[in-house]
Amino acid sequence: MKKMMLILTLLISTSAFAQEEEPRLQGLMAQMGGHSLIILNGMFYDDFSVIEDSVAWINNHPKPKADFAIIKKELGAEIKLFKEIDDAAHNAANAIGVAAQEQDMLEVSKQYGVMVQSCTQCHETFRERLRAVLHP
């Protein structure tokens, strides 16, 4: 458990270190992936507090304003779907947090599945297209 946590913490702090003041989406997403793995690990080690901490990070992540402006321009009206998927991911993250506070691990794992589906849905729908404009 300790070794795993150390690796995950390093992963997260390394990408945080690489960020400038205005965070870029890619670095944020790398941190998002790290926190999702921490939540998964917390589920398997029955550690609710670790889960609550990473959920809080996911729910309050800094906004990549400049990148979001690029995304809005590229997607046009499709930004609506982008936001819906993002909201779905955040709703599920909230539900994970509530379940963790209630110490209900089965519900945590159920909502984790919902959250990860939203992560993947956005990637499958938009990632390739957005990478082209975010990293010209």
> Is residue 54 a contact point for ligand HEC (CB under 6 A)?
no
CA–CA gap between residue 110 and residue 6 (Å, rounded): 26
Q: Binders of ligand HEC among 29-48, rule CB under 6 A? A: 29-30, 32-33, 36
Applying CB under 6 A, which part among 4-12, 42-50, 84-92, 98-106 lies near ligand HEC?
Answer: 84-92
Half-sphere exposure of 127 (CA within 13 A, CB side): 9
- How distant, in Å, are the alpha carbons of 47, 87, 120, 122, 129 from that of 126? 33, 15, 10, 6, 6
Question: Which residues are at the interface with ligand HEC (CB under 6 A)?
Answer: 25-26, 29-30, 32-33, 36, 58, 82, 85-86, 89, 115, 118-119, 122-123, 126-127, 130-131, 134
